[in-house]
Amino acid sequence: MNITASPPSYFDNAVTKWVAEMATPWMRLKRELARFNLNKHLPTNKKLRILDAGGGVGTESFPFAGAGHEVVLVDYSAAMIEEARRDAAAQQIEARVSLHVADVMDVTSLFDHNSFDLVLCHNVLQYVADVPALLRALAQVMKPEGVLSLISTNHNAGVYHSALFRDDLDEAYRRIDDRTFTTSLFGNTMTEYAGEEVTAMLTQAGLCFEHYYGLHNLLQYWGNNERRTQPENWAKLEKLEYALTDHHPHNLLARYWQVIACKV
């Protein structure tokens, strides 16, 4: 089963661009902020078995492997998995990483129920045709009291993203009601959700909502890349991002949302 209408070739053909994008200061900050938030919900002094569902090249999960945890990464792009394999070798974490070329919708056929302490599903939902079905599948492979971290683009922020970041007022008007959006990186169409829409699906999947955070609360709305990365400005933006990530209602308009859930 394909998770999206987009074939894996969209992602296979963009590996180099994706790796370059992940290395930018703003994407590093997004990951650091997400990890900062997630750590509040994880047990300490415990080795975790982690599923990175749709994990691409492993950027989100490999730091966990570097810290001694076991990481299982699933992605349906063979090119992404091959890049992840090279990176795991370069980081000398191969012994703690296993890689699978497969659709995330098929995790229940790949792994036993109650297998993982933590599931990361970051930057995936916007490409998924059936989000409730994916949440149910992820819940099945989570251990009782396991933690799920979801990150996706925020439909509530779409208008502001188009107007302020992309400088496209016509597109901003369209996105008032239209939740579809064509990505500049992969060139395919994704569907955006608001965080509260996804939290409403968690109960039906057997999961319990824990917390909502915003990522890139101001970063994509202020200045341009040159101005943002000037040291004085960057320090202020970073301070604001950490202050706003858990600050309601400002975080409702963040470019990305992060939702933490647990399995009861």
Element housing 16 (H / E): helix 15-22
Residue 4 within any structural domain of the chain = no
pTM score of the predicted model: 0.95
pLDDT value of residue 5: 52
Residue 236 within any structural domain of the chain = yes
pLDDT value of residue 178: 95
| Cα 155 from Cα 158, distance rounded (Å) | 5
Residue 1 within any structural domain of the chain = no
pLDDT value of residue 182: 87
Residue 3 within any structural domain of the chain = no
Number of Cβ within 10 Å of residue 68's Cβ equals 10
pLDDT value of residue 7: 73
How do the pLDDT tens digits run along the chain, 264 residues long?
344 556 788 898 899 999 999 999 999 999 999 999 999 999 999 999 999 999 999 999 999 999 999 999 999 999 999 999 999 999 999 999 999 999 999 999 999 999 999 999 999 999 999 999 999 999 999 999 999 999 999 999 999 999 999 999 999 999 999 999 888 888 888 999 999 999 999 999 999 999 999 999 999 999 999 999 999 999 999 999 999 999 999 999 999 999 999 998
pLDDT value of residue 222: 95
Token pair recorded at residue 33: 């902020």
Residue 2 within any structural domain of the chain = no
| Cα 142 from Cα 138, distance rounded (Å) | 6
pLDDT value of residue 2: 42
111 phi, psi to nearest 5 deg: -135, 150
Contact partners, residue 207, CB within 8 Å, separation at least 6? 135, 139, 142, 148, 261, 262, 263, 264
The domain total for the chain is: 1
Give me the domain span that covers residue 46.
9-263
Token pair recorded at residue 255: 């470019």
Q: What angle do CA 39, 42, 43 make, to 5 degrees?
A: 125
Residue 36 within any structural domain of the chain = yes
Give the domain CATH number at 92.
Answer: 3.40.50.150
| Cα 167 from Cα 140, distance rounded (Å) | 42
pLDDT value of residue 1: 35
**Strand pairing class (256-263; 207-215):** antiparallel
